[in-house]
A and B are shown apart, each in its own frame.
Chain A
Amino acid sequence: MAAELTLARAPAQLRPTSGGRRTRAAVARTLTFVALLVALVPLLAVGSFIVSQGIGVIRPDFFLQDPPGDLSALGGGIRNAIVGTLEMTGIATAIAVPVGLLIAVFNAEVGGRLATAIRFVIDILAALPSIVVGIFVYELVVVGQGHFSALAGSIALAVIMLPLIVVSTEEMLRLTPRPVAEGVRALGMSRWRSYLAVLLPTALSGIFTGVLLAISRAIGETAPLLFTALGNNFFSVSLSEPMQGLPLLIYRNALNSAFPAARDRAMGAALVLIAIVLIFNLVGRWLVARRNLARR
Chain B
Amino acid sequence: MVFRVIAAAGTVVALATVGLMVYDSVITTAPVISTFGIWDFVTGLRWAPSFTIYGALPFIFGTLLTSVIALLIAVPVALGIALLVTEYLPPRIAGPVAVTVDLLAAIPSVVWGLWGLLVLVPFLRPIEHAIAASAGSVVPFLGPPTPGPSYFAAGVIVAFMIIPIVAAVTREVFAATPRLQREAVLALGGTSWDVVRRVVLPIGRAGFLAAIVLGLGRAIGETIAVTLVIGNAPRIGSSIFSPGFTLASVIANEFNEATEPLHAESLITLGVVLLVIAVLINGAGLLIRRRVTQVAGRGS
Check whether chain A touches chain B (CB < 8 angstroms): yes
Residues of A within 8 A of B (CB): 15, 17, 21-22, 24-25, 28-29, 31-36, 38-40, 42-43, 45-46, 49-50, 98-99, 101-103, 105-106, 109-110, 114, 117-118, 121-132, 135-136, 138-140, 159, 162, 190-192, 195, 216, 219-223, 226-227, 230, 247, 250-251, 254-255, 257, 263, 266-267, 270, 273-274, 277-278, 281, 285
- A36 contacts which of B3, B81, B220 (Cβ < 8 Å)? B81
Given the known inter-chain contacts A35-B77, A121-B14, A129-B221, please indicate yes or no for A45 contacting B274, CB distance below 8 A: no
Residues on B with beta carbons closer than 8 Å to the beta carbon of A257: 114, 117-118
- A35 to B215 CA separation, bound complex (whole angstroms): 17
B179 CB-CB contact with A under 8 Å: no
Other A-B pairs, 10, CB within 8 Å; known A32-B88, A131-B223: A42-B104, A121-B14, A124-B282, A136-B25, A226-B252, A227-B255, A247-B108, A251-B228, A278-B106, A285-B102
CB-based contact A221/B109 at 8 Å: yes
CB-based contact B108/A21 at 8 Å: no
B97 CB-CB contact with A under 8 Å: yes
- A32 contacts which of B11, B80, B117 (Cβ < 8 Å)? B80
CB-based contact A25/B97 at 8 Å: no
Residues on B with beta carbons closer than 8 Å to the beta carbon of A159: 17
Residues of B within 8 A of A (CB): 2-4, 6-11, 13-15, 17-18, 20-21, 24-25, 28, 76-81, 83-84, 87-88, 97, 99-104, 106-115, 117-119, 160, 163-164, 167, 189, 191-194, 196, 217, 220-224, 228, 248, 251-252, 255-256, 267-268, 271, 274-275, 278-279, 281-282, 286
Residues on A with beta carbons closer than 8 Å to the beta carbon of B192: 25, 28-29
**In the complex, which of the residues A124, A138, A162, A222 has the most CB atoms of chain B within 10 Å of its own CB atom?**
A222
- A281 to B108 CA separation, bound complex (whole angstroms): 12
A-B interface contact total, Cβ < 8 Å: 237
Given the known inter-chain contacts A32-B83, A32-B84, A270-B111, please indicate yes or no for A132 contacting B11, CB distance below 8 A: no
CB-based contact A222/B110 at 8 Å: yes
Q: Nearest residue in A to B285 (C-beta to C-beta)?
A: A127
